[in-house]
């Protein structure tokens, strides 16, 4: 057991930090304030990601064949931490890097790979993920969007909701039902749908979490060629399982939380209030929560780095991450409420908005608890 970084890993992190110091403009804080799905941040990613690609820092963990450098899992993870902690200047493109690209490499047709992967590796593609629906959130397998085969095409009808990045994305990684209404997980297929296809309509949903972050997407008689289907009909569930296994621990949110906590403590020191033992206890508690989330996450990364499949430890880590994010944002609200009005500390507002999402997006905290109970503690299924 060894809980320290190697010299090489430290140097890698330093290199990324140097890059960020050089490439993030002075007004970056104001841009990042709007949220990863905002027009401001998406536009920024269109120039930032190509620079990352050029420096070999966009897809280093991808195989060389697709523009990567076959770098180890830990480096990919360090990169993710640094990007998220600096406000995620890759915007929506982090999804391509983490799971959409690797999923296409594994399951895509030659045509799909040639068409979609190179732009991702160059930092020039914006995707969105069309999974959730008005009546299928936590119970994703209940989704109703239909894709009906019509000759060489499919015709898609339905509604997706909470779709991040949809307003600016060129392509949607869409789940739709090709089987009958009662086919559950087995009746779903994946479609790679260009967002400018006639019949696709996007409406931004006003929210507490950044400009233009979440959307409703309406698909009305959207006709796509059968060649836009990824994998076979009914194969969606196993493909998503594979792709999201890469994402099991999710975003390294604790890294931003830990850094925001540092800033909060600095503010309290400036105000001469950090000697208050009540404040110190709460700061220690928040710091411990961040450290807990970090180590539980690292354990899952370590499993992956050694070639293992992520187990229920990933759900444990996810729950700890939610606790850490909220612990820091609550600390700020309790002791530095003045910084949550006005724009003195855009970073606190941005962190708060990201933190309140942590327990909902990509599987609610309570779903994580269900999974921990069944898979980690081996408790019987919930009583009806």
Which residues, listed in sequence order, are joined to residue 173 by a DSSP beta bridge? 129, 192
Question: Quick check: helix, strand or coil at residue 97?
Answer: helix
Does position 155 bind ligand FAD by CB under 6 A?
no
Instruction: Give the integer Cα–Cα distance in Å for 74 and 282.
Output: 31
Does position 326 bind other proteins by CB under 8 A?
no
Shortest Å distance, C-beta 210 to ligand FAD: 8
User: Which of residues 281, 309, 333, 343 is near other proteins by CB under 8 A?
Assistant: 281
Please, what is the angle between helix 7-23 and helix 73-85, to 10°? 40
Instruction: Give the integer Cα–Cα distance in Å for 59 and 71.
Output: 9
Does position 298 bind other proteins by CB under 8 A?
yes
C-alpha torsion angle, residues 16, 93, 257, 350 (rounded to 10): 120
Does position 72 bind ligand FAD by CB under 6 A?
no
Compare residues 360 and 369 and give the one whose CB is closer to other proteins.
369
Compare residues 88 and 313 and give the one whose CB is closer to other proteins.
313
User: Which of residues 284, 309, 333, 334 is near other proteins by CB under 8 A?
Assistant: 284
Does position 204 bind ligand FAD by CB under 6 A?
no
Q: Which does 132 bind (CB under 5 to 8 A by kind): ligand FAD, other proteins, none?
A: ligand FAD
Contact 234, 186 (CB under 8 A): yes
Q: Interface residues for other proteins in 213-272 (CB under 8 A)?
A: 265, 269
Does position 137 bind ligand FAD by CB under 6 A?
yes
Instruction: Give the integer Cα–Cα distance in Å for 1 and 8.
Output: 18
Compare residues 45 and 163 and give the one whose CB is closer to ligand FAD.
163
Question: Quick check: helix, strand or coil at residue 220?
Answer: strand
| Dihedral sign, Cα of residue 365, residue 367, residue 368, residue 374 | positive
Shortest Å distance, C-beta 285 to other proteins: 5
Q: Which does 4 bind (CB under 5 to 8 A by kind): other proteins, ligand FAD, none?
A: other proteins
Does position 371 bind ligand FAD by CB under 6 A?
no
Q: Which does 235 bind (CB under 5 to 8 A by kind): other proteins, ligand FAD, none?
A: none
Instruction: Give the integer Cα–Cα distance in Å for 167 and 190.
Output: 20
């Amino acid at each position: 057991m060894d809980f320290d970084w190697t010299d090489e890993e430290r140097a890698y992190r330093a290199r990324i930090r140097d890059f960020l110091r050089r490439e993030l403009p002075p007004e970056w804080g104001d841009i990042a304030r709007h949220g990863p799905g905002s027009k401001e941040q998406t536009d920024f990613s269109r120039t930032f990601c190509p620079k990352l690609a050029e420096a070999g820092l966009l897809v280093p963990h991808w195989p060389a064949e697709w523009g990567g450098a076959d770098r180890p899992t830990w480096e990919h993870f360090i990169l993710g931490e640094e990007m998220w902690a600096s406000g995620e200047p890759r915007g929506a493109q982090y999804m391509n890097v983490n799971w959409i690209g690797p999923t296409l490499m594994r399951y895509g047709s030659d045509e799909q790979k040639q068409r979609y992967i190179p732009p991702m590796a160059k930092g020039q593609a914006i995707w969105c993920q069309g999974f959730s629906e008005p009546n299928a959130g936590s119970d994703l397998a209940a989704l109703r969007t239909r894709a009906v085969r019509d000759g060489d095409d499919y015709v898609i009808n339905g509604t997706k909701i909470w779709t991040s990045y949809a307003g600016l994305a060129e392509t949607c990684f869409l789940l739709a039902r090709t089987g009958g209404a009662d086919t559950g997980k087995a009746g779903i297929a994946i479609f790679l749908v260009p967002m400018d296809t006639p019949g696709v309509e996007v409406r931004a949903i006003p929210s507490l979490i950044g400009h233009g972050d979440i959307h409703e997407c309406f698909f009305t008689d959207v006709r796509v060629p059968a060649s836009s289907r990824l994998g076979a009909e009914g194969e969606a569930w196993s493909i998503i399982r594979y792709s999201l296994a890469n994402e099991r621990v999710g975003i390294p949110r604790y890294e931003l939380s830990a850094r925001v906590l540092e800033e909060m403590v600095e503010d309290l020191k400036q105000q001469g209030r950090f000697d208050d033992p009540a404040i110190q206890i709460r700061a220690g508690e928040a710091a411990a929560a961040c450290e807990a989330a970090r180590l539980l996450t690292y354990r899952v990364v370590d499993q992956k780095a050694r070639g293992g499949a992520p187990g229920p430890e990933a759900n444990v880590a996810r729950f700890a991450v939610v606790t850490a994010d909220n612990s820091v944002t609550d600390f700020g609200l309790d002791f530095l409420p003045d910084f949550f009005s006005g724009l003195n500390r855009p970073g606190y507002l941005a962190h708060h908005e990201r933190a309140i999402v942590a327990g909902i997006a990509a599987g609610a905290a309570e779903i994580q608890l269900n999974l921990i109970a069944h898979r980690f503690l081996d408790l019987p299924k919930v009583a009806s």
